Amino acid sequence: MKKSIMLSMSCAILLAGCNSDNSQNKTDSSKEKKVTIMLDWTPNTNHTGLYVAKEKGFFKKHGLNVEIKAPGEVTADQLIAANKKDVQFGISAQEQVTQSRSEGVPIKSIGAIIQHNTSGFMSLKEKNIQSPKDYEGKTYGGWGAPIEKAFIKTLMDKSNADINQTKIVNMGNTDFFAASKKNIDFAWVYYGWTGIEAKTRNIDVNMQYLTDYDKNLDYYTPIIIANEKYLKSNPDTAKAFMAAVKEGYEYAIKHEHESADILIKAAPELKKQKDLVYASQKYLSPKYQDDAKSWGMQDEKVWANYAKYLKDNKIIKNDFNAKAAFTNEFVEGK
């Protein structure tokens, strides 16, 4: 469930000359409106609700014919920023959207897939990293995003440790477990997938969760995004889409095993990892809504606190309007 961290996106290039899809939503089931959502990574349990909505006919019920598309060379964030006609919705995270909006890119979050950040720094137990203090003298494997060093420093500062004694390398697309056997000691992972994978493989690991050290790091990841212009021109389509998606995740909350089966059916490559899918789904299903009054809801304070963290750490320089970064209008109520 590795995330494509793109805190410096080339969205501005894609913004030029792009038109929004101004067509109206068709509620007639004989002529469903076709829309596409692009994932942030290969299909996994973050996306289960989407596949449930498709398999169970929730999209069709709301007059939609939805394609769920894996990312390619161009990411969902870039296509949504450009308001391309062939992709109306995407999966992203608060990290990307905060950075993008601080640079004037009109991406808006329209639903939180998971309520609380489950990520942190994981290491094989044999590395003997029991706290951020133990990062000293160790090697971190990442992807070169400035936010990674900021996160590490935050945890180490609160543990009276010196980040200058930690080596940071780029491990690219290397699998965490393979990289840990070679040249890294710890990495940033999402427990809902990589942590669960360790359990299913009987590999002992240690984990330091970001939210245990700084509550400002309890942000929304992943989220569903759309372009502001698209939302203004197509509110009925967005409402229908998110109503169906909400039904999908609500179903996945109540029926974890069946929903995992649906995900595997939609992504046959996961059959080889079915034990992981079932275990991950069991872990994530109750976390989709968690303590929110309903699935998908977002809190302005979460956006404001994380943006402040980024600004304090000089990851973003411009002012950030937290209230404008998201909307609950498509997930409120039934």
pLDDT digits (tens, 9 = 90+) for 109-119: 999 999 999 99
Give 318's pLDDT tier (boundaries 50, 70, 90).
very high
- Higher-confidence residue of 100 and 144: namely 100
CA atoms within 13 A on the CB side of 244: 25
Indicate if 119-217 has the same CATH topology as 11-116+219-325: yes
| Measured distance CA(313)–CA(43) in Å, rounded | 32
pLDDT attached to residue 172: 84
Contacts 24+ apart (CB under 8 A), 210-213: 210/117, 210/119, 210/120, 210/121, 210/151, 210/155, 211/116, 211/117, 211/120, 212/120, 213/132, 213/154, 213/155, 213/158, 213/159
Average predicted confidence (pLDDT) for the chain: 91
Beta bridge partners of 209: 120
The percent of residues in the chain predicted with pLDDT above 90, rounded, is: 87
Give 333's pLDDT tier (boundaries 50, 70, 90).
low
Instruction: State yes or no: pLDDT of 9 exceeds 80.
Output: no
144 three-class SS: coil
User: What number does CATH give the domain 119-217?
Assistant: 3.40.190.10
pTM greater than 0.85 (yes/no) = yes
- Cα diameter, the chain: 64
Domain range annotation of the chain: 11-116+219-325, 119-217
| Measured distance CA(304)–CA(310) in Å, rounded | 10
Q: What is the pLDDT of residues 265-287, one digit of tens each?
A: 999 999 999 999 999 999 999 99
- Higher-confidence residue of 23 and 53: namely 53
Instruction: State yes or no: pLDDT of 259 exceeds 50.
Output: yes
pLDDT attached to residue 3: 46
E-strand ranges in 10-77 read: 33-38, 64-69
Q: What is the pLDDT of residues 28-80, one digit of tens each?
A: 445 899 999 999 999 999 999 999 999 999 999 999 999 999 998 899 999 99
pLDDT attached to residue 82: 95
pLDDT attached to residue 7: 39
User: What number does CATH give the domain 11-116+219-325?
Assistant: 3.40.190.10
